[in-house]
Structure 1
Amino acid sequence: MPSYEERLRHFKMSKLSDRRKLLDLMFLYNVANNRVDYPSLISKISFRAPFKLRRPSAYSLFSLKFKQLSKSNV
């Protein structure tokens, strides 16, 4: 049987991990642009737009807010 990489080339496909990342980005885009009705998720996303990025890798443009679980909830 051909290797995974050879099969990907044969069928002109990208790796599954790359396809998943793309789908995650597409979902985030759709949520941010109100194309997906998911109010509980929207309330957990906080977008930040820094004035100037000095070191782009050091900044995250959005974050998710999570409740801190107490030991009794775990």
Structure 2
Amino acid sequence: RALKTAGIPYQEIVVNESDKQSIDELKLIAEKKGVTATMPYVLVMDMETKDSHDWFGFQPDEVKKLKELQA
């Protein structure tokens, strides 16, 4: 909701409890980052540079940074 409210384009991918492979991948990403795998998981990709930034959970400050970058 925060991305939509901020006018930031996004693609939502729903991961169901039965999708064990995706859940395991998210847990592995979280483990590598040293955080808990809480939803949502947000992956931001710069399509020109291929740089990426990601986070788990609702992070209003991260959404605010994206909004500022978009301006």
Scaled by the length of structure 2, what TM-score is found?
0.29
Greater RCO (Cα-Cα under 8 Å, separation 6 or more): 2
Greater percentage in strand: 2
